[in-house]
């Protein structure tokens, strides 16, 4: 799993929690929401990827199970700061005329600091927002900020990062006051996960609001239940996957009951009744592969509201993986009992988690790890990165050391690479070093058969990866390679090679790296294989200092069996060259 500092949405929980759909015959308070998603980069920061999606997802949950009317939910995507304030002012005017009380919910997902939010990359003073959220025309004002340095919003900079966040939030429609929520405390950063496609906090908050946080089994999710659920899992995930744990914070000024229902799963006609005897159960949306609901361990029954689609209900334990696929249809209610799950995997497979992703699929070697790669087979010269030898049996071994998660060194032939970006987004890897060398005992067929020369092959280039999902990526690269000899300098050659490829990993068991390459001689040597344009297909691409095999079978997370297969045609000489090499990659 991969993450980024980002602003997402703890907001959903509170919003829904404060104003559940009213029971039949009950007076309904007017509820309105202003939801802002900001992907645009603030000065000196990288753009975010999922803030827009979080804003849309929050709006959907509010309307599906929170009782918000569509017309009363404003979703603003990278708006101008003035538009945000104008929308809040308009909603306050509308709510001031409500006869039975009102709620104004403001949510922001994007970059922030202790003084400002940055919708569309422009500063919006937090003090201007606080003034709106102190406006008594709305009976209750709820502000939720999911962003880096969130503590400036709730004035929680003094919180100790190792103190668990305790939830005790009295809220009700009868309350008059404000609640300010942040997904992080003090100088902490909120984290965005590529695997979840949203923030840790938002992911768990949405699941909790849909019913997973219902501890009492009464079909309602209260403020305390939703926050306790999201807080616990946010701290767990951020502790495991980030440099420091993330602790939500809040500033409350309310009077009323000790708790209030935020959502009712029964208000959605499309829902699933889960009966758990042991757990923990997970519900996975098959169209995206996302875990949308996690049910804590223990015996319980609960109802969760889910969008229509196909899902996998799963339980992992030391005995194995048990699962059942279900179809959720619109306006229908289905039941799934844990005892109806069937065993689908062994203990080894069940134990695999985010940290067990095959190490060989990482773009650079993990920090403080070493990667040993061995190869043996028929090599060729059509792709300069492979070898000097043409149609000869060759064996190679290399050791790559991850100095950090981004910086790696390869030996015995020295080469360096540094990775910018992150998995789940764009990665750019400049690299360079010596990738070949040795003695050629047959300088060219039919020409000076007694020739013996020692040579070397320095290379440099840049590789680019664009991750379509956490398991699939488009790859590209541009490489310059020099084929030099200590004698007979007229044989020296200079190449430029462009590559384009695709990588895909299925079930963490098999990875396919298919690429095409065009090699252009800038300086042609006298060797037959160094002249003319060459087209290659197969395992002909480097990502940094590591060459991608065509096939990798992942025996275990740290050990993979590799197969390099390539086909190259020299457009000038019409030579057709094939290469077959096998080996293994072991990380330790």
Q: What percent of the chain has pLDDT over 90?
A: 16
Question: Could you write out the DSSP letters of every residue in 70-81?
Answer: GGGEEEEES--H
Distance (Å, whole) CA 74 – CA 85: 12
236 vs 183, which has greater pLDDT?
Answer: 236
Chain-centroid distance, C-alpha 75 = 24
For 571, other C-beta atoms within 10 Å of its C-beta total 12
In this predicted structure, the answer to whether residue 465 has a pLDDT above a threshold of 50 is yes
pLDDT at residue 338 in the model? 86
Q: Strands, DSSP E only, in 85-206?
A: 102-109, 116-117, 124-125, 140-146, 177-182, 191-193, 198-199
In which element (H, E) is residue 84 found?
helix 81-96
Better-scored residue on pLDDT, 87 or 279: 87
Choice between 172 and 137, residue whose per-residue pLDDT is larger: 137
**What integer best gives the mean pLDDT of the chain?**
75
CATH fold, domain 3-267, is: Rossmann fold (3.40.50)
Give the bridge partners for 103, in sequence order.
31, 140
At 430, the pLDDT band (50, 70, 90 cuts) reads: very high
Highest mean pLDDT among 317-321, 326-330, 402-406, 441-445: 326-330
Q: How far apart are CA 508 and CA 362, in angstroms?
A: 12
Helix (H, G, I), strand (E, B) or coil at 245: coil
Predicted confidence (pLDDT) per residue in 377-425, tens digit: 876 543 333 333 344 677 778 888 888 778 888 887 788 999 887 776 7
Predicted confidence (pLDDT) per residue in 335-372, tens digit? 998 888 887 754 333 333 334 578 888 888 877 788 88
Q: Look at 234 and 22; give whichever has higher pLDDT.
A: 234
User: What is the pLDDT averaged over residues 238-253?
Assistant: 58
pLDDT tier at 484, thresholds 50, 70, 90:
low
More confident residue, 224 or 450: 224
Is the confidence at residue 157, as pLDDT, over 80? no
Give the pLDDT score at 254.
58
| Domain residue ranges in the chain | 3-267, 281-354, 357-587
By the 8 A CB rule, do 398 and 406 touch? no
Q: What is the pLDDT of residue 241?
A: 57
Spell out the residues 6+ positions from residue 59 whose beta carbon is closer than 8 angstroms to its own: 33, 35, 68, 73, 75
443 — pLDDT class (breaks 50, 70, 90): very low
Are the beta carbons of 52 and 106 closer than 8 angstroms?
A: no
Q: Is the pLDDT of residue 282 over 80?
A: yes
140 versus 238: the higher-pLDDT residue is 140
Dist. CA 490–CA 312, nearest whole Å: 64
* Phi-psi region at 377: left, alpha or beta (left = phi > 0; alpha = psi -120 to 50): left
Question: Phi and psi at residue 253, in whole multiples of 5°?
Answer: -140, 75
Fold for 357-587, please state it: Porin (2.40.160)
Q: How confident is the model at residue 161 (pLDDT cuts 50, 70, 90)?
A: very low
Q: What is the pLDDT of residue 569?
A: 85
Query: Is a pLDDT exceeding 60 seen at residue 242?
Result: no
Question: Residues 284-306: what's their mean pLDDT?
Answer: 87
d(CA 133, CA 119): 18
């Amino acid at each position: 799993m991969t993450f980024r500092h980002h602003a997402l949405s703890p907001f959903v929980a509170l919003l829904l929690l404060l104003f559940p759909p009213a029971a039949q015959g009950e007076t309904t308070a007017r509820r309105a929401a202003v939801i802002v998603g900001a992907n645009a980069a603030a000065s000196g920061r990288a753009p975010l990827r999922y803030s827009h999606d979080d804003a849309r997802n929050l709006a959907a949950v509010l309307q599906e199970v929170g009782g918000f009317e569509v017309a009363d939910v404003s979703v603003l995507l990278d708006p101008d700061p003035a538009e945000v304030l104008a929308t809040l002012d308009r909603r306050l005017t509308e709510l001031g005329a409500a006869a039975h009380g009102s709620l104004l919910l403001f949510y922001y997902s994007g970059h922030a600091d202790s003084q400002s939010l940055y919708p569309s990359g422009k500063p919006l003073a937090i003090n201007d927002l606080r003034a709106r959220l102190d406006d008594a025309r709305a009976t209750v004002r709820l502000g939720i900020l999911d962003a880096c340095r969130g503590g400036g919003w709730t004035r929680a900079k003094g919180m100790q990062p190792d103190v668990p966040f305790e939830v005790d939030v009295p809220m009700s429609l009868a309350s008059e006051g404000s609640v300010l929520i942040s997904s992080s405390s003090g100088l902490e950063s909120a984290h965005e996960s590529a695997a979840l496609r949203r923030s840790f906090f938002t992911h768990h908050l949405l699941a909790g609001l849909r019913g997973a946080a219902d501890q009492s089994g009464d079909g309602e999710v209260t403020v305390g239940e939703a926050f306790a659920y999201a807080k616990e899992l946010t701290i767990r995930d951020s502790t495991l996957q980030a440099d420091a744990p993330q602790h939500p914070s809040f500033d409350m000024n309310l009077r009323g009951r000790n708790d209030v229902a935020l959502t009712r799963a029964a208000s959605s006609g499309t829902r699933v009744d889960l009966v758990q005897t042991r757990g923990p159960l997970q519900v996975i949306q098959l169209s995206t592969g996302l875990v949308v609901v996690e049910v804590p361990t223990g015996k319980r029954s609960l109802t969760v509201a889910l969008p229509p689609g196909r899902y996998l209900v799963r339980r992992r334990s030391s005995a194995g993986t048990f699962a059942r696929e279900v179809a959720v249809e619109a306006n229908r209610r289905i039941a799934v009992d844990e005892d109806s799950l069937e065993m689908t995997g062994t203990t080894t497979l069940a134990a695999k988690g985010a940290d067990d992703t095959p190490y060989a699929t990482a773009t650079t070697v993990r920090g403080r790890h070493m990667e040993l790669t061995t190869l043996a087979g028929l090599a060729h010269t059509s792709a300069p990165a492979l070898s000097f030898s043409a149609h000869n049996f060759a064996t190679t071994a290399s050791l790559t050391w991850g100095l950090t998660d981004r910086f790696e060194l390869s030996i015995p032939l020295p080469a360096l690479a540094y990775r910018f970006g992150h998995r789940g987004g764009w990665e750019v890897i400049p690299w360079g070093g010596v990738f070949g060398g040795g003695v050629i005992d047959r300088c060219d067929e039919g020409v000076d058969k007694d020739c013996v020369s020692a040579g070397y092959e320095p290379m440099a280039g840049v590789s680019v990866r664009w991750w379509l999902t956490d398991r699939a990526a488009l790859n590209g690269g541009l490489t310059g390679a020099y084929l030099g000899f200590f004698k007979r300098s007229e044989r020296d050659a200079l190449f430029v090679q462009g590559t384009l490829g695709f990588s895909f990993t299925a079930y963490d068991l098999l990875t396919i790296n298919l690429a095409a390459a065009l090699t252009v001689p800038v300086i042609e040597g006298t060797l037959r294989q160094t002249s003319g344009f060459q087209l290659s297909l197969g395992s002909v691409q480097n990502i940094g200092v590591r060459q991608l095999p065509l096939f990798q079978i992942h025996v275990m997370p740290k050990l993979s069996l590799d197969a390099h297969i390539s086909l190259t045609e020299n457009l000038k000489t019409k030579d057709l060259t094939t290469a077959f090499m096998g080996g293994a990659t072991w990380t330790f």
